[in-house]
Amino acid sequence: MEIIRTVEWMKQVAREARSADRLLGFVPTMGALHEGHFSLIREAQKQCSPVVVSIFVNPKQFGPSEDFQKYPRTFEADCAALEKLHVDYLFAPSPEEIYPGGFRTAVVVERLSDRLEGRARPGHFRGVTTIVLKLFEIVGPRFAYFGRKDAQQWRIIRQMVADLNLDTQVVACPIIREPDGLALSSRNRFLKDGDRRAATALYRSLDALRREISSGERDVTHLLAAMHRVLGAESGVALDYVEIVDLETLEAVMSLRRTCLALVAAKVGGTRLIDNALIEPDGDSIRVTL
């Protein structure tokens, strides 16, 4: 695996791949890699060669009171894992390489970025879309892989790619979970023992939703109530929001007629966690994917 530190070198590698008509696959990360990231990389390797992984803890997507300083950084272990997976290139630029003095540009996806995570974390998605566009311009991927765990991020990036006529295809990959259902996240390592148990309430609330839907419940108010019952029963969980929204608009729905997301966000022992389920009507039945 070649470790690339500069934009120019990364661009050169990308240009060569393009000239040789190779399908470059890209997995952008903030490091602290776990099985969720590895699943994205394996998916990329099925479809693409070369595969580029980036590690960049993007300061612009953290608010002033958020955990940028504290965000886990495990570069040595990450490199070892990427080597083992036979990743071709690791792009790991410095903050100064990405945001030189005088940097002034931002990309915003309006409306979709203000709600849900965007309401809890003002400016977060503006930071995400700006870095993702920059990385796409630098890495020039034909395919880029994102985890469906960050569902709103995936939705926003898909919109940005369409609106800006980018040539990158966004691939959304399944949520990877612990045996007890907890969605993998770099932040899970901050959970202490008691929190770790409480944290499964997010998954359990989505599982309750799935069971309600599969037993015929269609009323959104009842479905939200079922989720709230699970989350409310767990005293370690400080709920931020539970919503069922239209996948296209991210606005709360009154019925499940179109593809929806059930989204939950909460703090558990000071650590902010999110999880979601994809709800897809299919004739008379509804498929729920956790």
List the catalytic residues.
Answer: 37
The 8-class DSSP code of residue 286 comes to: E
Instruction: Measure the CA–CA gap between 174 and 42, rounded to whole angstroms.
Output: 12
Task: Report d(CA 195, CA 216) in Å as an integer.
Answer: 33
Nearer to its own copies, 35 or 163 (CB): 163
Q: How far apart are CA 252 and CA 260, in angstroms?
A: 9
| Interface positions, 226-285, toward its own copies (CB under 8 A) | 248
The CB-of-21 to its own copies minimum distance in angstroms stands at 9
Is 83 or 248 the residue whose CB approaches its own copies more closely?
248
**Contact between 132 and its own copies (CB under 8 A)?**
no
Strand partners, 281: 286
111 contributes a contact to its own copies by CB under 8 A: yes
How far is it, in rounded angstroms, from Cα 273 to Cα 267?
6
Shortest reach from residue 140's CB to its own copies, in Å? 9
Over the window 1 to 20, marking each residue x when it contacts its own copies by CB under 8 A and - when it does not, the resulting string is: ------x---x---------
User: Is 217 within 8 Å of 270 (Cβ atoms)?
Assistant: no
Q: Are 231 and 242 in contact (CB under 8 A)?
A: yes
Which one among 4, 24, 133, 176 touches its own copies, defined by CB under 8 A? 133
Query: Candidates 106-114, 229-237, 238-246, 268-276 — which segment interacts with its own copies by CB under 8 A?
Result: 106-114
CA distance 143 to 112: 23
Site for its own copies contains 122 (CB under 8 A): no
What is the binding site for its own copies (CB under 8 A)?
7, 11, 102-112, 129, 133-134, 137-138, 159-160, 163-167, 248
